[in-house]
Amino acid sequence: MTSKIVTSLVRLCLLGVLFVFLFYPDRFQIEFEYPGAPLVDSFTLRLVKTMFWLLLIIEILRIFYYGVVKSKSKGILANIVTFVVPLAVLLIFLEIVFMYVPQSHEGVLSKASRIWWAKYWNPINSQGYRDKEISSDTTKTNVLVIGDSFAAGHGLENLDDRFSNQLEQKLGPDKYTVYNLGVSGSDTRDEAARLMKYPVKPDVIVLQYFPNDVEKVGREKGLSLSGAEPYGDLKGPLSTIVKRFYLPNFIYWQLPHTAFSTFEQFVKQAYTDTTVLNAHLQDLSQMLAYRDSTGADMYAVFVPFLFQLDKSAQYTKPVEDFLRSKGVKVVTLTDGVKNIPAKERVVGKNDGHAGPPVNVLMADRVYEAMRKQ
């Protein structure tokens, strides 16, 4: 029995080397190259990690069997080992399970959200957007939807639930082609640049606007946003464990970490600071100039903070007024969102992006505005 325990200990040492290679490659300047690296563990890498954990379980159980069960060891140490081993095996098993559990998040911050991203963020066309390829049919009316993660459909597993896809169905895909230029984290300046770069000339432009579109220009003009950085509330070994392993990472992201009121105050200040607001309107003017150069009709659908509806409308009113003065058809959602139950407004408890009912509302409102026009 002693020889069997020794061989298992040797194999554990070899697994220890593999452990460092798989879970701490950056400490030794090792890089894995695959699509999405290093943000997302590829499916293949997760399979390799799964095999590692299974081999570890086998060796732990083998040592436990020969060291405690078969040898009929007794005493406090044997009792402690008898308690610790099943617990360790359970935790390892849960780690394996959570390596394959997707969950959308506000950003691609958690490991579960990265799994979600790898699984659902498709198709990606040749332009880099989560959308179909550009059509060669020149007889249809081209509608370009530009925006951030709300336009891209962050948190939506099925693209048929996304408002741009629904808008195309309402307009008639035999007559209209709706292209989605949504990019997570995009602001107005970036959106204007991407719109002008897109190789399709628009007949209609639909701007999806969210109150945080002013954030980047606000920072540029000196406004600061307080609040902890991701994992900033973790110290020492706990930080490493949460960042690198799936089970503790999943548990960590089920807990609140940054108060919404912090960001709310930032947004309120940004829209009332004339320096920030004027710079933001200048960015919007670039988009308007492109609209004028193409002769396209333009609509702007304002998505509010889904749980701060009235305040959100107050913040963005100067932008709405500006766009209206420039001939943009402004589409608001506040009254409609109020009629949607709170849980259905968002895609999940850890992701505040618009759920399917809000996307339906967006598509309906834009369609009605286009039909009137």
DSSP string, 320-372: HHHHHHTT-EEEE-HHHHTTS-HHHHEEETTEEEE-HHHHHHHHHHHHHHHHH
Separation CA 130–CA 341 (nearest Å) = 28
For 84, other C-beta atoms within 10 Å of its C-beta total 12
Q: pTM for the full model?
A: 0.88
Separation CA 372–CA 87 (nearest Å) = 64
- Does the domain at 126-372 match CATH 3.40.50.1110? Answer given as yes
Could you tell me the CA-to-CA distances from 304 to 36, 308, 364 in Å, in that order?
31, 7, 16
Residues sharing a CB contact under 8 Å with residue 6, sequence separation 6 or more, in sequence order: none
DSSP state letter for 27: G
Q: Side chain identity at 77, as an amino acid letter?
A: L
**pLDDT 10s per residue in the chain (373 long)?**
678 888 888 999 999 999 988 888 887 777 777 666 666 778 888 999 999 999 999 999 998 888 877 877 788 888 888 899 999 999 999 999 999 999 998 777 889 998 998 889 999 999 999 999 999 999 999 999 999 999 999 999 999 999 999 999 999 999 999 999 999 989 999 999 999 999 999 999 999 999 999 989 998 988 887 655 778 778 888 989 998 999 999 999 988 765 545 677 888 899 999 999 999 999 999 999 999 999 999 999 999 999 889 889 999 999 999 999 999 999 999 999 999 999 999 998 889 999 999 999 999 999 999 998 7
Closest CA to 128 of 41, 211, 42, 186: 186
CA dihedral 102, 107, 111, 117 (to 10 degrees): 50
Extents of the domains making up the chain: 2-100, 126-372
> Residue 266: what pLDDT?
86
Separation CA 189–CA 80 (nearest Å) = 61
The owner of tokens 């370009």 is 144
The H or E element containing residue 61 is helix 43-64
Token readout for 153 is: 């459909």
List the beta bridge partners of residue 205: 144, 298
Separation CA 364–CA 274 (nearest Å) = 34
Strand-by-strand arrangement of the 141-147 sheet: 176-182, 141-147, 204-209, 297-302, 329-332
> Residue 330: what pLDDT?
98
Separation CA 33–CA 39 (nearest Å) = 11
